A and B are shown apart, each in its own frame.
Chain A
């Protein structure tokens, strides 16, 4: 996969936003992996997805630094239906303030049973991608509103407190 120069995303579609019903499949995929392969298998899936599938994005983050991270997340959430997000670029970090998570919003609206670990996927996946890019990632909140932080080593962020990631609730 070769990211087009004209887009901050590594892939382009003919429509401006994705179809929200696909969040049902992501939630169902997590449930299947957790049931079949256990938590370790699910984590392995997310880490390999982060290092493999997302490698074109990681390459851009590694070479483009925090400005590339901020551009990516702005473009990413603009293509996710129902997202309300602010991306703040600071000298040593990018903070993504998710006021309304499009996935949790749609899963709740569709009366889906949300995998309770759902919000942890952003930390596990985000950490794999950040590490591949020479950055660190932290997550605070969840269940519909949260803050993602992607930082350089200079930020010297404290370790992730897993209790700071909320369980997703249907």
Chain B
């Protein structure tokens, strides 16, 4: 039986298998069709119907279940929903257990939430450091400009204020007002 205890590990293995069988396109289709439109349809329905309050209901529940020791922080306002991961339960599982079968496991989050939020009318600012730390800001699709300044939305809980957050942008995967997992950028436009 395929279990849920080690889900993140066989999920990551599956990305590598799909890429070998059908290339990068099949991995992207998997994230959108199987995860966004099927597995996580409860998230999709909530967010399409309720917007930011729906994001709070979905991520508030699911992150508490996956990370009961609160390795994350949620901040929300009328115009933005933000999550700071200080200890991602999913990436952390892989790092602790030395699991790697796919080039960048972290891409799966943008792979399914990107299309989901696009369908709901939102864009994403995001950075991840591949070490279990990342941040996300979801805003209405009409939002423009670059990333908000560190601390301006989440205060001291902003993951970018950690002493171990990379100073070299090249160590980060970065997105600005994006919905596509392949829309990584080097330079973030000014806010």
Contact = CB atoms under 8 A, between A and B. Distances in A.
A52 B13 contact: yes
Interface stretch (A28-36, A59-67, A152-160, A162-170): A28-36
Contacts of A52: 13
A22 B98 contact: no
A25 B97 contact: no
Contacts, number: 115
> Which residue, of B9, B13, B93, B97, has the highest number of chain A Cβ atoms within 10 A?
B97
B13 to A, nearest CB: 5
Contacts of A13: 5-6, 93, 96
A22 B34 contact: no
B149 interface: no
B1 interface: yes
B104 interface: no
Given A22-B7, A29-B30, A32-B29, 7 more contacts: A9-B6, A10-B97, A11-B6, A15-B69, A22-B4, A23-B4, A76-B5
B3 A19 contact: no
A27 B34 CA distance: 9
A24 B42 CA distance: 10
13 contacts: A13-B6, A13-B93, A18-B4, A24-B38, A25-B7, A32-B29, A32-B30, A36-B22, A45-B14, A49-B2, A76-B3, A102-B4, A148-B1
B8 to A, nearest CB: 8
Given A24-B39, A32-B34, A18 B21 contact: no
A45 B17 contact: yes
A144 interface: no
Contact of B39 (A27, A53, A101, A121): A27
Contacts of B66: 19
A79 B97 contact: no
A3 to B, nearest CB: 9
Given A26-B2, A122-B1, A31 B38 contact: yes
A126 B38 CA distance: 26
Contacts of B6: 9-11, 13, 18
A76 B65 CA distance: 19
